[in-house]
C-alpha cells in the first residue's frame, strides 16, 4: 500500500513507520504541527509538537530513507480540540481531548487529506489492534489505547494501520534501540499535550477567567467552601476541594452546575452511580442489536465493568452497570467492549456521557 506515517517524534510512531517500511509499503512520513508556538522546548514527558519533536521525527524519516513533510494543522487543532476542551469545562463537563484529537484531527483531517493525495491508509503508533477491520485492545494492557480510538467509525478504521498492537512497549523500545533510533529512550508523553506544565486549572482560568461560587455539601445543603470557577473541578474529584467539613470524612465532587456556579460534594456512599446515559453512539462496525450485554470503560485508565445496554432517550444509550462506579462525568466517553479472552476484547463503539445516577 501507499501509506502516510504520522510521526510525532516519539518512539511509538518511529517504530510504527519502520515496521510499515519493513512490510514493503510505500511510506511517506508526516509530522503534525499542532501547536501555535512550535519553537518552544519540550519539558521531559510533557507537551508535544515542540521543535525537538519535529526534529526527532525528521531524523527517523531520514534514517528510514522515506520522504518527510510537516503539515500545519494548528488552527484546526485549536478549533476542534482546544476550544472544544475549554467549552466542555465551561459547561460543567469533563471532555477527553485525546479522543477528540483522534476523531477530528488524526482520523478526519489527516485521513481525508491522505486519501485525497492518493494514500491508502494512515499508519500511527497507537497501541491497539485491527483484526478483520475491527478494533481490539492491544496485547499490552498497560499501554492499551483502544479507549481513545473507540470513537472511530468503520470507514475510518478501514484507512488505519496500527503496527504496534501485537507487541509490548518494552519490545517497541527494543526495536528502536536495535535500529539505533535516538528516540529509543525518549519519555512517553503524558497528561494533556497542549498544557505542558500540567496545570489544567490554571490553563482554564486564563481562558475563562475567575467565576467564583459555592461548594455545597449534598447531605446538609450547607456551604462548606468557595471556589474560583467550576472549571477547576471534575465529577469524582477528591483532592484540592478547598473545603472544611466537621466530620472529616472524605468528600467527592458529585455534580457541577455552571449556571449557578455550584459544586456539590458528598461522601463515598453518594459518589457511586449505577446508571449512565449517553448521547447518540458511534459504532466501529455495524450497529449491534439492543439490548446488549457488554463491558464499558468510563475513563481512559478505568477498569471495565459489565453492563446492560439499552436504547436511551434522544437516540442515546442507557447503561445499567453491574457495580456502582465513581467519577462518571458528563463529557467523558463510555466505550463499549465485547470481552474476548482469545482474540482480545472487541471495541463496539462509544457514546458521550450526558448523565449518571
For the annotated catalytic residues, the residue numbers are: 101, 193
Task: Report the distance separating Cα 143 and Cα 151, nearest Å.
Answer: 18
Task: Report the distance separating Cα 319 and Cα 352, nearest Å.
Answer: 12
| Residues facing residue 135 across a β-bridge | 130
C-alpha cell at 4: 502516510
| Residues facing residue 333 across a β-bridge | 352
Q: Which residue has cell 452546575? A: 257
Contacts for 281 with CB less than 8 Å, ≥ 6 apart: 287, 316, 317, 336, 349, 350, 351
Task: Report the distance separating Cα 196 and Cα 183, nearest Å.
Answer: 19
User: Contact 7/30 with Cβ under 8 angstroms?
Assistant: yes
Amino acid at each position: 500500500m501507499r501509506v502516510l506515517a504520522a510521526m510525532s517524534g516519539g518512539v511509538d510512531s518511529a517504530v510504527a513507520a519502520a515496521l510499515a517500511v519493513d512490510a514493503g509499503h510505500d511510506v511517506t512520513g508526516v509530522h503534525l504541527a499542532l501547536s501555535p508556538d512550535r519553537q518552544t522546548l519540550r519539558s521531559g514527558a510533557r507537551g508535544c509538537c515542540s521543535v525537538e519533536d519535529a526534529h526527532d521525527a525528521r531524523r527517523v524519516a531520514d534514517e528510514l530513507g522515506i520522504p518527510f513533510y510537516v503539515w500545519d494543522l494548528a488552527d484546526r487543532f485549536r478549533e476542534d480540540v482546544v476550544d472544544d476542551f475549554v467549552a466542555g469545562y465551561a459547561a460543567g463537563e469533563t471532555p477527553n481531548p485525546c479522543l477528540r484529537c483522534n476523531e477530528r484531527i488524526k482520523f478526519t483531517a489527516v485521513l481525508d487529506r491522505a486519501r485525497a493525495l492518493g494514500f491508502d491508509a494512515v499508519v500511527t503508533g497507537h497501541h491497539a489492534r485491527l483484526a478483520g477491520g475491527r478494533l481490539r485492545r492491544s496485547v499490552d494492557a498497560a499501554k492499551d489505547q483502544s479507549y481513545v480510538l473507540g470513537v472511530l467509525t468503520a470507514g475510518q478504521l478501514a484507512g488505519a494501520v496500527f503496527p504496534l498492537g501485537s507487541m509490548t512497549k518494552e519490545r517497541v523500545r527494543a526495536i528502536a534501540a536495535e535500529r539505533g533510533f535516538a528516540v529509543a529512550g525518549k519519555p512517553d508523553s503524558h497528561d494533556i499535550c497542549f498544557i505542558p506544565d500540567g496545570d489544567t486549572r490554571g490553563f482554564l482560568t486564563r481562558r475563562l477567567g475567575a467565576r467564583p461560587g459555592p461548594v455545597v455539601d449534598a447531605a446538609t445543603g450547607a456551604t462548606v467552601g468557595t471556589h474560583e470557577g467550576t472549571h477547576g473541578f471534575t465529577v469524582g474529584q477528591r483532592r484540592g476541594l478547598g473545603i472544611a467539613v466537621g466530620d472529616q470524612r472524605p468528600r467527592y465532587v458529585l455534580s457541577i452546575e455552571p449556571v449557578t456556579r455550584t459544586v456539590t460534594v458528598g461522601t463515598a456512599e453518594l459518589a457511586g452511580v449505577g446508571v449512565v446515559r449517553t448521547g447518540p453512539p458511534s459504532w466501529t462496525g455495524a450497529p449491534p442489536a439492543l439490548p446488549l450485554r457488554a463491558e464499558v470503560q468510563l475513563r481512559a485508565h478505568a477498569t471495565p465493568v459489565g453492563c446492560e445496554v439499552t436504547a436511551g432517550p434522544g437516540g442515546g444509550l442507557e447503561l445499567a452497570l453491574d457495580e456502582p462506579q465513581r467519577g462518571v462525568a458528563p463529557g467523558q466517553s463510555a466505550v463499549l467492549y465485547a470481552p474476548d479472552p482469545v482474540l482480545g476484547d472487541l471495541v463496539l463503539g462509544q457514546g458521550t456521557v450526558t448523565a449518571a445516577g
